[in-house]
Amino acid sequence: MSIVRKVTEIVTGLLRSTEYRLYDVEQNAGIVKITVDSSTGVTLDQLAVINRKISHALDEKDPIPNKYTLEVSSPGLERKLRKREHFLGAINDRITVKLGPHVEGERRFGGVLKEVGADFLVLEVENTEKYEIKIEDITQAKTVFEWGKNPKTGKQSAKPKVSSNLK
């Protein structure tokens, strides 16, 4: 069994009775990245507590034979989309997708994720064109956070009302 699969089982079991859920596990050289989420988001203080619990559980069960650095984080505003479940959670969100070099033609797309099938997704780009993309062709994908416009400083849309009910 792979290290990622072992860590996934341990962390899933650890989080089962909490409001948090495992979003992803990645291993790259000596770094194990665990991404945790909840329906209300995750604060830094909550991540610190979760990190200590995961670290303790991994020390106890010892699924990683060599030295490693543990990173525990939330997915953030712009989430990586690596699994079918990630794409399912991003339906109607704006995403970007990069396809592998084996794909002919356009390899970068941005648009709104409209549908996720068993092995494909449908992306609607700006001009309402829809593209069906095989999930196996995707090398990178993430949600895109859209910043709202800030009101201009120094301008007020209405004068404050002053009450004159003094007696």
Evaluate if residue 134 carries a pLDDT over 80.
yes
- Mean pLDDT within 123-134: 89
Instruction: Return the pLDDT at 160.
Output: 46
Domains of the chain: 3-73 (3.30.300.70), 84-143 (2.30.30.100)
| Count of all residues that appear for the chain in the document | 167
For the sheet containing 21-28, what is the strand order? 21-28, 31-37, 69-73
Evaluate if residue 161 carries a pLDDT over 60.
no
- Looking at residue 3, the DSSP 8-state letter turns out to be H
pLDDT digits (tens, 9 = 90+) for 89-116: 999 999 999 999 999 988 999 999 999 9
Distances (CA, A) of 55 to 47, 74, 145: 12, 16, 31
Task: List, as own/partner pairs, every contact residues 111-116 make where C-beta atoms lie below 8 angstroms and the sequence separation is at least 24, other chains included.
Answer: 113/87, 115/91, 116/84, 116/87, 116/88, 116/91
Predicted confidence band of residue 163 (pLDDT cuts 50, 70, 90): very low
Evaluate if residue 165 carries a pLDDT over 70.
no
- Mean pLDDT within 38-48: 93
Contact at 8 Å (CB) between 65 and 105? no
Predicted confidence band of residue 159 (pLDDT cuts 50, 70, 90): very low
Instruction: Return the pLDDT at 18.
Output: 93
